[in-house]
Chains A and B, each alone.
Chain A
Amino acid sequence: MELDWEFMEETLPKVWAGAGVTMELTLLSLLLALPIGFYLAVIRLHGCKTLQGIVRSYVSFVRGTPIVLQILLLYSLLPSVLNVLVQAMGWQINIFEAVDPFWYAVVVFTINTVALLAEVFRSALNSIPRGQMEAGLAIGLSSLQVYLRVIIPQAMVVAMPSICNITVNLVKGTSLAFLMTVKDIMAIGKIAASFGYNYLEAYIDVFFVYLVLCTIIQIFYHLVEGRIGAFRGKRA
Chain B
Amino acid sequence: METRVFDVSMLWQSLPALLEYLDVTLLVGISSICLGSLLGGLLAYGKLSRNPAGRYIAHGYTYIMRCTPSIVLLFIVFYGLPQLAEALFDWEIDDWHRGIFAVITFTLLFGAYISEVFRAAYEAVDKGQYEAAVSIGLSPWQSVWQVMLPQAAVIALPNFGNAVINLLKEGALAYTIGLIDLIGKGNLIIAQNFGAYGLEIYLACMLVYWVMTLAIEQGFNKLENYLAKG
The chain A residues found within 8 Å of chain B, CB to CB, are 1-2, 60-61, 63-70, 72-73, 76-77, 80, 83-84, 168, 172-173, 175-176, 186, 189, 193, 199-200, 203-204, 206-207, 210-211, 213-215
CB neighbours (8 Å) of A64 from chain B are 165, 209-210, 213-214
B198 within 8 A of A: yes
Once the chains are docked, how many angstroms separate the CA of A211 from the CA of B86?
27
> Smallest CB-CB separation from A207: which chain B residue?
B72
CB neighbours (8 Å) of B198 from chain A are 72-73, 76
Once the chains are docked, how many angstroms separate the CA of A210 from the CA of B66?
10
Once the chains are docked, how many angstroms separate the CA of A65 from the CA of B183?
12
A76 in contact with B84 given A60-B214, A172-B70, A214-B66 (CB within 8 Å)? no
CB neighbours (8 Å) of B173 from chain A are 66, 68, 176
Tell me which of A69, A84, A173, A193 contacts B202 (CB under 8 A): A69
Contact across chains for A210 and B76 when beta carbons are under 8 A apart:
no
5 additional A-B residue pairs with CB within 8 Å, beyond A76-B198, A193-B75: A61-B210, A65-B210, A66-B209, A69-B202, A77-B199
- 13 A–B contacts from the bound complex (CB under 8 Å): A2-B87, A64-B209, A66-B170, A69-B205, A168-B67, A172-B69, A175-B69, A186-B71, A193-B75, A200-B83, A203-B76, A204-B80, A211-B67
Q: Which of B169-201 contact A (CB under 8 A)?
A: 169-173, 183, 198-199
Once the chains are docked, how many angstroms separate the CA of A64 from the CA of B166?
9
CB neighbours (8 Å) of B171 from chain A are 66
Contact across chains for A83 and B3 when beta carbons are under 8 A apart:
yes
Contact across chains for B203 and A73 when beta carbons are under 8 A apart:
yes
A68 in contact with B183 given A168-B67, A214-B66 (CB within 8 Å)? yes
Chain B CB count within 10 A is highest, among A77, A175, A203, for A203
Once the chains are docked, how many angstroms separate the CA of A200 from the CA of B71?
13
> Smallest CB-CB separation from A174: which chain B residue?
B69
The chain B residues found within 8 Å of chain A, CB to CB, are 1, 3, 64, 66-73, 75-76, 79-80, 83-84, 86-88, 165, 169-173, 183, 198-199, 202-203, 205-206, 209-210, 213-214
Contact across chains for B72 and A210 when beta carbons are under 8 A apart:
yes
Specify the main secondary structure of chain B where it touches its partner.
Answer: helix
Contact across chains for B209 and A1 when beta carbons are under 8 A apart:
no
CB neighbours (8 Å) of A80 from chain B are 3
Contact across chains for B169 and A67 when beta carbons are under 8 A apart:
yes
Contact across chains for A200 and B69 when beta carbons are under 8 A apart:
no
Contact across chains for A84 and B206 when beta carbons are under 8 A apart:
no
CB neighbours (8 Å) of A65 from chain B are 169, 206, 209-210, 213
Contact across chains for A186 and B69 when beta carbons are under 8 A apart:
yes
A207 in contact with B3 given A67-B169, A68-B183, A73-B199 (CB within 8 Å)? no
> Smallest CB-CB separation from B83: which chain A residue?
A1
> Smallest CB-CB separation from A206: which chain B residue?
B72
Contact across chains for B84 and A1 when beta carbons are under 8 A apart:
yes
Q: Which 7 A-B pairs have the closest CB atoms?
A: A1-B87, A66-B172, A214-B67, A199-B79, A64-B213, A175-B69, A172-B69
Once the chains are docked, how many angstroms separate the CA of A168 from the CA of B63?
12
> Smallest CB-CB separation from B203: which chain A residue?
A73
The smallest C-beta distance from A176 to any residue of chain B, in angstroms, reads 6
Contact across chains for A207 and B73 when beta carbons are under 8 A apart:
yes
CB neighbours (8 Å) of A207 from chain B are 68, 72-73, 76
Contact across chains for A83 and B75 when beta carbons are under 8 A apart:
no
CB neighbours (8 Å) of B70 from chain A are 172
CB neighbours (8 Å) of A60 from chain B are 210, 214
Once the chains are docked, how many angstroms separate the CA of A186 from the CA of B3?
32
The smallest C-beta distance from A189 to any residue of chain B, in angstroms, reads 8
Contact across chains for A172 and B68 when beta carbons are under 8 A apart:
yes
Chain A CB count within 10 A is highest, among B84, B198, B214, for B198
Once the chains are docked, how many angstroms separate the CA of A203 from the CA of B213?
31
Once the chains are docked, how many angstroms separate the CA of A104 from the CA of B71?
20
